[in-house]
Structure 1
Amino acid sequence: MRSSPTLFPFRFRFRLRRLTGSHPQRNAHFRLLLRLFVLTLLLVVAYKGMRAAFYGVAAYQDVVELQTLRTRSLTPAEKLGQAERQLASLSTVMAGLDQELDIFYPLLRMARPLPGYGPALAAGPELVGMGIDLLAVARDALTLAPTQLAAAVDHGDAAALLALLEALSHQDPTLAGRLAQVEARLDQLPIGSFPPALAGPLGNLQAVLQLATPALRSAPVLPQMLGFQGARTYLILVQNNHELRATGGFLSGIGTLRLENGAITHLEFVDSYDIGRDDVEHPWAPPPMQRYMGIDLLFLRDANWSPDLPTTAQLARAIYQQDTGNLVDGVITLDLRAVQLLVGALEPLTVPAAAEPLTADNVVDQIKEFWNRPPESEATLQGGQFWEWWERRKDFMPMLAQAFLDKLQRGQFDFLKLANALYTALDERAIQIWVEEPILAAELARMDWDGGLRPPAQGDFLALVDTNMGYNKVDAVVRREVQYTVSWPATAGEPPLAQAVITYEHPLAVPGHQCDNTPRYGSGYDDMLRRCYFNYVRLYVPAGSELLEVEGVETDSVVSQRGENNTQLFAGYFVMLPGSRHTVTFTYRLPPDLTPENYTLAIRRQAGSPPLPVTIQVDGQKTIVTVTRGRYTWPAPGAKERSLIRAPRGG
């Protein structure tokens, strides 16, 4: 017979009273046992804590040794051997740390609500586990090529790198997968809530992992692409995103990068206006360029009309070969945001002509100053020496590139910080890369680093593409936001209705300003910010969508046609005064196979554009986001709230 719930507490108190009782001797024995137990527990905790501290110090020392190894005067084989020994020691230390901390893990996980260090303490068990797994991957990777590296001692770092890449091309196929698992676990941690002293290194590590995983998958072709099997030349398109174009900005500068045996043997930049011959045929410019900009023929500086970089890159490569006779092996774009990120990773960066060392905070202002007053020249835009100024206004590009290259070659930089800057630039599409080699091209597309206009196989798609047609730098200040609404009619089976409302704001008021689309420089760089916005706006949506109405553009400019890569394109042209707001609204039907139950949305942010605020309202469910990465998916993969988008439809 089960005990009554009211009887159990009485029996428990009775037995406890029998143990402790009121007998003085019995009470003394109990207190003695309790003190012994607490003392023993404290001794165990102290012992475990001291051993954990010992392992923590040892781990820190091993990490410091690994960090300084890169700058030590050792041969590649010696560096490899030392790295293997340090990694083995660190692995042993981390395993010991994990064992000593094991009894503390339940308490650490309970510390999450604590202010300040709570989230970091709660993540301690996972961080230690990831460290052990990551060390195992690193040790396996380093043991792939000891023979090859030893044979490369007399041939320098380039031969050592080739040996390592060749070994990685025959790697255990699980290596990249194991690294991706560690990366995925790190992605799940709330790094943003950790103290800065921990969040910074973890963020850098995260970037290294996100670069290393695709590099491992591309290892079979990296020796070829790095020039170990013959020199490779890449075309660099320098995009000024203050004058927004489809792939990120006006092609202000053109660079060539040559790699031989893993080393940079040539890096040169010229004004984009210097690339172009009048004695060869050029393709016709797109009709909107002809109509609104007066551009009849397409030269390299205007070649980035298509927002799909693989399409643009192949056209740019063909025009470059036609104008120079040189064939390149790939195309790289970078904009001012990329310059900020890379300079920030190497700061302070010394450029002789600059008044102060360059940092992420001042590099854009310094570039504008160099444009207004070219370095090592007395010519200015307003100084009566226009043609000398015009010829030298971009002289800063090779000087900045050389300062960057010098710092890399001296090795005086934080590798993890640079990796983080590179990953961020790729993730935001401030840097984009296209190559013809199919294995690497597929990996770049997989990571969304090739600048491709890539709608999903299923679901909704939205890509806003602005093209500044005003011969100015207004995009440096123009702000834009999108309100996107999708609803289903009450009648079952009818296609969903979509409306994209795009609001532009030009914050710099210029009283009495008259819009003039004549190419001119004015009084300086900042003068080109205070002008009208002549914008050709394109909206890429799923193929099969039907345009119903466009508001806010010139009536005779409206276009609806098939777009690149299985999309539908809606477009139009408008002019906006400085200091004003302007709204463009596209209303259209989406394909009928999109239902409330299967609906997803992929938003592609235009390269070179600032973070894009978007308000999404789908069948009554509202979400507000700011898209900073190249692509945003709603709802997020694996979201548990999918049922929320099945809100009742209005009648």
Structure 2
Amino acid sequence: MASRPGTGLGTAAFFLTALGALTWIVMLAGPVRVATGLLGARSHLREMERAFRTELNAPLNRRSTEAGDRAHAEANAAVAAARRASDGHRWGAPIFDLALALPKLRGLTLELPDLLVAGEAATGAAQRSIRLAQDSLGPRSPIIERSEDGSRIVIDEIDELRAEVIEIMSLLDRAANRLQDVKLTNLPARFHSNVRRSIRQAEETQVVLGQARDGLDVLPGFLGADGRRTYLLGMQNPAELRGTGGAMLQMAYLTATDGRLELDETGSIYNVDTDRRTVDIPIPRDAWYVREIPDAQRFGNANWSPDWPLSAQLTVRYGRASADEFGVPFPDRIDGVIGVDPVTMKELMPAAGKYRIPAGHVMKARRVLHFLLYKAYARYPIPGHRRAVLRQIVDGFYERLFDPRHPSRLVSGAGNALGSKHMLLWLTDPAEQRFVEEMNWDGAIDVPERSDYLYVVEQNVGGNKLDYFQQHTYQMDVRPDASNARVSTEVSVHNGVFLPQPRWSMGDSKSRHRPMVNVYVRPDARLLSATAPRVVQGLNAWSPAQFRSGRLETPSPAVWAGGRPSEHRERGAKVWSGTLQIAPNQTGSLGFDYLVPGAIRTIGDRSVYRLAIQWQPKVRPDDLIVRFHLPDGARNVKAPGWRRDGRVMLFEQRLKSDLVLEVSWRT
């Protein structure tokens, strides 16, 4: 929530740029003071932002020295320059009165008071934003109270922080309102787009500040201000994919009491999921994976749905049922489930700093992912030894994370992890969960009402860790058909494993990757055809035929009938499923042709195609290729991020977060 320390800087910079054009009204001291003051404020803002970014990137023990002092000085200088400009306007009043009588100067002079107020308010917002971020994230931050017993977040200081955010919002409101009062016809034409852009930037900044305010509203409760909270921390392994991002193999309990966060010693998921025994509980209608796959009906394997709220709640229910039936330890109260994976650790490691574990390994951001997902299996082939070392890594990481060396990097790292769904949140408190949903941190399936939709989700059904070596590619070919869209989607999975590999990473299917591919589309999408060659089964495990890539009739919810895939419904989406077997260094694929009714909308005088894509978190980003065929007569095409190749609009990107694409045109 504090990840936008530069709030107000861009907007303020425009105000001062526009006002700097007044240098051509150069007659007496007043007008000269206006011009020099505004130009000075603009340059000070630039230097302030540059210095502040330098400070954020510095180690914590070197904070608030040269760069921090320079940022403060430049912020104060920017505010002083803006005030000097306002004083110049007042002191030069007779000259400005004279300018009102001159046709060439009258319009600009009339708008000067609004522009000056906007400039003062914006520089004030920028100054307070810098000060807020430095006070919150600096080494002497009043928000963090340190003692011999550890550190805690001071709840009362959160209320003070919220009040400061509201004050910054008030200043930006004032700036935006005064800009909206400016009559553009009175300004030189070259400033019209800048005024509009600045108003838009101010509104966008207000949205971000509003989210910060709302987050600070619910943060005290999350931190246990009203009583002890207990959260289940589930650590997922993306080398063995499940719907939410990976098999849940490690766990811990995170407690929060009056701002103090503590992590119980991490342990194996099998401390609760003893002997992988299944439990009979009521299964929600949308949880079709769990209902149709018996081995998913247990605490450690219930996260097959990519919808984190659904999977998290199922996991908690299976934990309680296991405690009741088998007597395993599980808390009576769970206030939320937090899903993380090694990519989260990589993002947050710069904040925690490198460290050495008792086994002798030094953990750094650039090596933690490779070690956890690959090297540990080769170095520690005995499962008990490997799990002990992994616990040392995780325990050491969280011990440092709760008292980070670089707090600002904690903010940016957490933002990256949440934005890419490598960290997922589900909270039982309704207000807190609403905030999580507003921030899109909940990892829920989100099918838009009036857009095309694609969400490709893999489940590793080979019992191996080959997702570490794989690469997904999605190709969509979209052709308008009146108000409908005819879509061909091909999902390709490349198995990049090389041999030999550690025995424990190969699992049941050896070097053959077996991803169950599930394609989520709009609920009204109509399947026209599907393609995927089958693999001959029943042969010797090492026969040449078994090394061919193709489709397998397993598990039961992925079995095809009559050349058509199995079809399911989940959280408002239609799902087509199929399982591939892919030999080393080969690629397997599934193809689906379907019609999406009403995917082409008319908005005003434009036709619009919008595509919402959700992404399942993986070790490597997916390759996305979308081709949109423009209809005959299409003109004035607008397609941000696309490139045009004749009558085809092409979009290519490495996919590592949810995405919305749009093409619009006139006919």
Indicate the SS of the match to 1:504.
Answer: strand
1:396 paired with 2:380, answer no
Pick from 613, 621, 625: which aligns with 2:652? 625
Q: In 1, Cα distance between the equivalents of 2:157 and 2:383?
A: 47
Name the residue aligned to 1:93: 77
Unaligned runs of 5+ in 1: 1-44, 73-78, 80-84, 103-125, 183-207, 375-379, 382-388, 512-520, 636-640, 647-651
Name the residue aligned to 2:573: 567
Most deviating of 260-269 and 466-475:
260-269
**Aligned-residue offset at 1:392:** 3.4
Name the residue aligned to 1:299: 298
Pick from 490, 495, 499: which aligns with 1:501? 490
Q: In 1, Cα distance between the equivalents of 2:656 and 2:172?
A: 23
Percent identity at matched positions? 19
Distance 1:416 1:160, change over 3 A: closer
1:614 paired with 2:641, answer no
Q: In 2, Cα distance between the equivalents of 1:420 and 1:267?
A: 25
Distance 1:139 1:467, change over 3 A: same
The equivalences for 1:144-223 within 5 A come to 161-167=154-160, 175=168, 214-223=211-220
Pick from 366, 383, 405: which aligns with 1:412? 405
Q: Check conservation: 1:235, 1:331, Cα contact below 8 A.
A: yes
**Aligned-residue offset at 1:345:** 3.5
Amino acid at match of 1:550: A
The equivalences for 1:196-595 within 5 A come to 214-276=211-273, 281-283=279-281, 295-296=294-295, 298-323=297-322, 324-355=330-361, 357-367=362-372, 371-372=376-377, 381=381, 389-408=382-401, 411-413=404-406, 415-489=407-481, 492=482, 495-508=484-497, 523-525=503-505, 531-552=511-532, 553-554=551-552, 556-557=559-560, 558-592=564-598, 594-595=600-601
Q: Check conservation: 2:228, 2:258, Cα contact below 8 A.
A: yes
Amino acid at match of 2:444: G
Q: Check conservation: 1:560, 1:568, Cα contact below 8 A.
A: no
Q: Check conservation: 1:496, 1:594, Cα contact below 8 A.
A: yes
**Aligned-residue offset at 1:576:** 1.4
Name the residue aligned to 1:642: 664
**Aligned-residue offset at 1:259:** 1.2
**Aligned-residue offset at 1:539:** 0.8
Amino acid at match of 1:393: R
Distance 1:407 1:280, change over 3 A: closer
**Aligned-residue offset at 1:393:** 2.2
Q: Check conservation: 1:284, 1:297, Cα contact below 8 A.
A: no
Q: In 2, Cα distance between the equivalents of 1:241 and 1:180?
A: 44
Distance 1:59 1:478, change over 3 A: closer
Amino acid at match of 2:227: G
Count residues in correspondence: 507
Q: Check conservation: 1:506, 1:577, Cα contact below 8 A.
A: yes
Q: Deviations over 1:73-93 (max 9, x none)?
A: xxxxxx9xxxxx999866422
Q: Check conservation: 2:242, 2:458, Cα contact below 8 A.
A: yes
Q: In 1, Cα distance between the equivalents of 2:124 and 2:300?
A: 50
Q: In 2, Cα distance between the equivalents of 1:212 and 1:226?
A: 21
Q: Check conservation: 1:538, 1:569, Cα contact below 8 A.
A: yes
Distance 1:345 1:411, change over 3 A: closer
Q: In 1, Cα distance between the equivalents of 2:206 and 2:446?
A: 24
Amino acid at match of 1:246: G
Q: TM-score, normalised on structure 1?
A: 0.65
Amino acid at match of 1:222: L
Q: In 2, Cα distance between the equivalents of 1:508 and 1:154?
A: 47
Q: In 1, Cα distance between the equivalents of 2:600 and 2:37?
A: 62
Q: Check conservation: 1:427, 1:630, Cα contact below 8 A.
A: yes
Amino acid at match of 2:525: S
Q: Check conservation: 2:523, 2:572, Cα contact below 8 A.
A: yes
Q: In 2, Cα distance between the equivalents of 1:427 and 1:143?
A: 25
Distance 1:140 1:549, change over 3 A: same
Indicate the SS of the match to 1:550.
Answer: strand
Q: Check conservation: 2:377, 2:386, Cα contact below 8 A.
A: yes
**Aligned-residue offset at 1:68:** 10
Name the residue aligned to 1:136: 128
**Aligned-residue offset at 1:571:** 1.2
Distance 1:539 1:401, change over 3 A: same
**Aligned-residue offset at 1:299:** 1.4
**Aligned-residue offset at 1:305:** 1.1
Q: Check conservation: 2:48, 2:72, Cα contact below 8 A.
A: no
Name the residue aligned to 2:113: none
Q: Deviations over 1:97-154 (max 9, x none)?
A: 668999xxxxxxxxxxxxxxxxxxxxxxx9999775232346689999xxxx999999
Q: Deviations over 1:468-498 (max 9, x none)?
A: 1001111111111111112133xx46x3211
Distance 1:371 1:322, change over 3 A: farther
Name the residue aligned to 2:105: none
Name the residue aligned to 1:22: none
Distance 1:254 1:548, change over 3 A: same
Q: In 1, Cα distance between the equivalents of 2:385 and 2:476?
A: 45
Amino acid at match of 1:398: R
Most deviating of 310-319 and 167-176:
167-176
Q: TM-score, normalised on structure 2?
A: 0.64
Which of the two has greater strand per residue?
A: 2
RMSD: 4.9
Indicate the SS of the match to 1:643.
Answer: strand
**Aligned-residue offset at 1:52:** 9.9
Indicate the SS of the match to 1:496.
Answer: strand
**Aligned-residue offset at 1:527:** 8.4
Indicate the SS of the match to 1:416.
Answer: helix
**Aligned-residue offset at 1:536:** 1.1
**Aligned-residue offset at 1:266:** 3.0
Q: In 1, Cα distance between the equivalents of 2:222 and 2:443?
A: 19
Most deviating of 614-623 and 173-182:
173-182
Distance 1:538 1:474, change over 3 A: same
Q: Check conservation: 1:309, 1:450, Cα contact below 8 A.
A: yes
**Aligned-residue offset at 1:335:** 1.3
Q: In 2, Cα distance between the equivalents of 1:127 and 1:396?
A: 57
